[in-house]
Amino acid sequence: MWKKGMASAVLLVLIGLLAWNLFGPKEPAIGLEKGDQAPDFELKTLDGKTASLSDYRGKKVLVNFWATWCKPCRTEMPDLDAIRSENDQVEVLAVNLTTTEKSVDHVAAFTKELKVSFPVLLDQKGIQARYQVLSYPTTYILDEKGRIMSVKHQMLTKKEIEKELDL
């Protein structure tokens, strides 16, 4: 009788573990599709600090890939800055394709001219290739847990960003 009780208990535990593995909560895969966990990265900022994507968990994040020579990038910068300035729970990470720029000083002058307040990250490591960025600007919109909500391969207006972020 005792053996049957133990066997039943073990069987129930195994069934429970199987059900948990099949139907329990799962971490999203790291990838570049909607719902995936965005790949983490670490880059130097324009002001010499180091920033990683994971530093901004808890906020919605716009990872904006751009360059100074990109006219649509210049056009959307003020809207990106306004979104960040008006919303405490939104961060903009402007990842500059630094290897195509005249110099880091040129990038600094560009951002100073536009008076942007968000972090400018200098991509000299090929993060843009890792994110499969083929056109500029490209923006990955992430939720508070770092999951990809959407990817936009175009210039965004403030209204479009607000709609994407449900603001």
Write down the pLDDT at residue 29.
Answer: 87
Average pLDDT of the residues in 105-122: 96
Beta-bridge partners for 63: 93, 140
DSSP code, position 144: T
Cα separation of 167 and 159, whole Å? 9
In this prediction the pTM is 0.84
Domain ranges of the chain: 28-165
Give, in order, the Cα–Cα distances in Å from 81 to each of 40, 60, 84, 94, 117: 23, 14, 5, 10, 6
**CATH dotted code for 28-165:** 3.40.30.10
pLDDT tens for residues 6-41? 656 556 655 665 555 556 556 678 899 999 999 999
- Which one-letter DSSP state was computed for residue 147? B
- What is the H or E stretch that residue 39 is in? none
Q: How many CB atoms lie within 10 A of CB 57?
A: 13
DSSP string across 147-160: BEEEEE-S---HHH
State how far the Cα of 64 lies from the Cα of 58, in Å rounded to an integer. 18
